[in-house]
Structure 1
Amino acid sequence: MTTNDSSPRQLHLNAFIMATGHHEAAWRHPHVDPRAALTLQHYVEIARTAERGRLDSIFLADGVALHGNVKHNTHSAFEPLTLLSALAATTEHVGLIATASTTYNHPYTLARAFASLDHLSGGRAGWNIVTSAGQDEARNFGLPSRPDHDDRYARATEFVQVARALWDSFDDEAVLADKASGIYADTERISAIGHVGEHFSIRGPLNIRRPVQGHPLLVQAGSSEAGREYAARFAEAVFTAQQTLQDGQEFYADLKRRLATYGRRPDELLVLPGISPVIGRTESEARDREAELTALISPAHGLAQLSAMLDTRLSEADLDGPLPDVGTATEGNQSRFTLVTELARRESLTVRQLIERLAGGRGHRVFAGTPAQVADEIQEWFEDGAADGFNVMPPTLPGGLDDFVDLVVPELQRRGLFRTEYEGSTLRENYGLARPASRRTATYPKGNAA
């Protein structure tokens, strides 16, 4: 590991929150209450723990279908924007990142919702942009099957362009609230966007003033070729799954290199790989905790999860045999398909072993060790060109996040790698990212507001 104690560069840490934890058997753990995932207080406790640890943000994943895991697992039932709006009232500093689909939403309603969360939270909103790869999601919206991969990204491109234009349809100084003159808003500073495109026709303007951050922080998680190009064009933080340091370094360098095409600098996008740390005060304790979770895995659930990742039905697969032929590509989540199939081949894993490897993080890196060993792992990736920080995925909740905040964060702070106080009041400020200037006056005509 290279070290550079004089470097001012600091880690960014996001807490990825998933019901009772990221390990698929977390709900069965003796220290976990599986019914807590349906209560607001569960998430209030988690968000406050993240804030106590000075983490940059919390993040909620989402899908728009009931996936086939509820027989053997809990699931996150709350719509993320609704839940994060409640958490905005119980926290002061931690960022609030919600997943929302560009395939099954409309830009006007989603731009309005994220602007609302940004105002309600004082500038802490972030949007994890997804294109929804599941077949069951498509059927919930009246489609016989999901749109193909490239079509989903084409729609997502136009979607984000329109959302940004809508956020910019109000100038920052449009609202005057001048009691003496009786003028509340300067309508010369509020404009229609007049967008007519392949997927959307939207007049505008938005019916809420420009967000506190200018735009909510834009996050993306796709690592396919289309996903990387999309991230280089739009994203300001990328959540990614990489199994090895070398894979992480290659992804990091490739993504940073692509930014120049869009006139962007490498520091305008943060790469945050996922890590699911099983933490023990001794190495033996950490290994015992990992084994305890592994023993609780349901093979039927594991096969269902694996089938979803590979977009192939594997319910009849031999658990103690090699991974069956699943082809070479999918119209679903292409990057995760590649990661899982390469892992199985590279390590000659049986289906059972593959299920156990994926149970803790669904392809993200799982690491069991002491607080110092977890900090070593984080520091190595951070200093050797594989990460700007991490998307922390506690194996159980709330206990797994308590362990990280109480044991690993102080170790990172002692090494000078992580903040001891928040730098700013907004998510962008804490991520070290600039507030975007309004592009409305340069792009759209004035004076068209209703």
Structure 2
Amino acid sequence: MASKRQIKLGLVPTGAGGPGNHNRWLDKDIPLDSSVNIDWYIDVARQAEEAKFDLIFIVDSQFITENSPPHYLNRLEPLTLLSGVATRTTHIGLVGTLTTSYNEPFNVARRFASLDLISRGRAGWNVVTSGDAGTAGNYGRDEHYDYDTRYGRALEHVQVAQGLWKSYRDGAFVRNRETAEFLDKSKLHPLNHVGEHFKVVGPLNIERSPQGEPVIFQAGNSEQGRDLGARIGEGIFSHAASLEDGQAFYKDIKGRAKAYGRAPEDIVILPSTDIVVGDTDDDARELERAYHFADHSFDQALAEFGRSFGWHDFRQYDLDAPFPAAALEYARSSFYTGAKRITDLAVERGFTLRQTIEHIRQPKNGPFVGSPETVANELIRWFDAFALDGFNVRLSHPANFTRFAREVVPILQDKGYFRKEYEDTTLRGNLGLKKVPNP
């Protein structure tokens, strides 16, 4: 008998290698130009669609240094990429990242509404506020927005976009050749928004999609990030180091959402997950270690370490001196929550800088590593424990993803925890979210 709740699955492809995976492009199964190769993205999206995944998720940022990982150095813009994927797929959701800090609501609303129509109702927007403080310099600003401003802009930005998506009521386009009536003008209205951060007249010049409007996703673990997710998020991308951490985050987000008058079931929580599949549990653990050491070196980890701290260069410090805790100040307008967690850990344990880097990059036994049966059972255990609603699977090495799709997913299906066929043609429908009406 099928489980009442169903596991949701997303796929996160980072081509040539994202953070912590600088050398992944050396895998011969990955095209050297994978991060800018639309055929590669289409291929992995179709593999995920064949396995009945809910969505493919494209991460993004708009600032790089020479120490950024290969995928960040050279990659396609998310909505352009997903529009290409949309024409070669039929059911899988298409979720792209766009920052509210350096975009205007009208353009964002129009671009996502276009993707939603092109895909016939499969678009999703991952709302971010830009953690890379250096992004400011690419948009004519001397300094990045502070946390409160970033999240204040984000909330208003999303609310404006959602207002613009309601410019046309359902059935506004009559398109009646006999009466020569193209538009029912009574079903079009301007927005006339005037707020703290934006002033937008509207209306938006594009009709609504079969799912009403794009699904709003959000990823942020700070207090402001969690609060924003609880207010506007329909899908939450998170991280869960343990089942207990996942349960605490799940309870917190759902509780905050309820306090805002939302139904907890209207939010789907999908933590990012590394999965390694082997013939046996021991085989999978060996593969996990091999991937870890092949994909990243100490020197690469040290050079990349400063990203959370506003790309502060830690190579200037003595590796064997106490961790430079004062460097946390450089993270004030960057990924402060993560930087503070690292700093607190290093200070509490009396780590040197070298020990801090080694601690972060040392192999850690992931929970979803083992034989196909072992992996499937552990995914189910976390799901049944309400630590999450599904998993955002990071596509590391292609051969490993193939094994997951072909060997683990069928077990989930046979046990009644994952679909054998799509329930709907829209992203909302497949995630179990309601269509947004505009009668």
1:341, distance to aligned residue in structure 2 (A):
4.8
- Residue equivalent to 1:278: 276
Aligned counterpart, 1:306: 305
Q: Distance in 2 between matches of 1:348 and 1:277?
A: 32
Preserved contact between residue 67 and residue 136 of structure 1 (Cα < 8 Å): no
Structure 1 residue 225, shift from structure 2 partner:
0.5
Indicate which of 157, 170, 173 corresponds to 2:171.
Answer: 173
* 1:92 and 2:97 correspond: no
Higher mean Cα deviation, 108-117 or 198-207? 198-207
Equivalence map 1:28-39=2 (5 Å): 28-39=26-37
- The answer to whether the Cα contact below 8 Å between 1:34 and 1:74 also exists between their aligned partners in 2 is no
Alignment match, 1:375: 376
The residue number in structure 2 matching 1:144 is 142
For the 8 Å contact 1:14–1:55, the answer to whether it is kept is yes
Query: Do structure 1's residue 73 and structure 2's residue 70 form an aligned pair?
Result: yes
Q: Which residue is equivalent to 1:446?
A: none
Q: CA shift at 1:182, angstroms?
A: 0.3
Q: Which runs of 5+ in 1 are unaligned?
A: 442-450
Instruction: Tell me the alpha carbon deviations over residues 101-160 of structure 1, each in whole angstroms, 9 at most, x when there is no partner.
Output: 001101101100000000000100000000002122110001111100110000111111
Q: Does residue 9 of the first structure (1) align with residue 8 of the second (2)?
A: no
d(CA) in 1 for partners of 2:345, 2:372 = 26
Map 1:256-295; keep pairs closer than 5 Å: 256-295=254-293
Gaps of 5+ in 2: none
2:131 maps to a residue whose letter is A
CA distance in 2, matches of 1:278, 1:324: 35
Distance 1:385 1:359, change over 3 A: closer
Counterpart for residue 238 of structure 1: 236
**160-169 or 20-29, which moves further after superposition?**
20-29
Deviation at 1:87, TM superposition (A): 0.3
Quick one: distance in 1 between partners of 2:375 and 2:318?
34
Q: Cα RMSD over matched residues?
A: 2.4
Letter in 2 for 1:354: H
Change (3 A) 1:238 1:358: farther
2:274 partner SS: strand
Contact kept? 2:170, 2:437, Cα under 8 Å? no
Are the structure 2 counterparts of residues 62 and 275 from structure 1 closer, same or farther at C-alpha, using a change threshold of 3 Å?
same
Deviation at 1:289, TM superposition (A): 2.0
Pick from 54, 58, 61: which aligns with 2:59?
Answer: 61
Tell me the equivalent position of 2:387. Answer: 386
Stretch deviating more after TM superposition (407-416 or 39-48): 407-416
Greater Cα offset, 317-326 or 229-238 = 317-326
The CA deviation at 1:206 is 0.3
For residues 279 and 172 of structure 1, what CA distance do their matches in structure 2 show?
Answer: 46
Q: Distance in 2 between matches of 1:186 and 1:373?
A: 57
In structure 2, what is the equivalent of residue 445 of structure 1? none
Residues 429 and 41 of structure 1, relative CA distance in 2, 3 Å threshold: same
Q: Quick one: which of 352, 356, 361 aligns to 2:361?
A: 356
**Correspondence for 2:339:** 337
Alignment TM-score, normalising by the size of structure 2 = 0.91
Q: 1:383 to 1:339 in 2, by over 3 A?
A: farther
The equivalences for 1:83-232 within 5 A come to 83-232=81-230
CA contact (8 A) 2:101 2:153 kept: yes
| C-alpha displacement of 1:271 | 0.9
Q: Is the 8 A contact 1:319 1:351 kept in 2?
A: no
SS of the equivalent of 1:162 reads helix
How far is the alpha carbon of 1:309 from its aligned partner?
2.3
- Please tell me whether the aligned partners of residues 16 and 70 of structure 2 are also in contact (alpha carbons under 8 angstroms): no
**Matched residue pairs, number?**
429
Question: What CA distance in whole angstroms lies between the structure 1 residues aligned with 2:166 and 2:230?
Answer: 21
SS of the equivalent of 2:377 reads helix
Alpha-carbon separation, structure 2, partners of 1:68 and 1:436: 43
Correspondence 1:20 to 2:23: no
Aligned sequence identity (%):
38
Alignment check: 8 A CA contact 2:116 2:214 kept:
yes
Measured in 1, the distance between the counterparts of 2:403 and 2:345 equals 28
TM-score (norm 1): 0.89
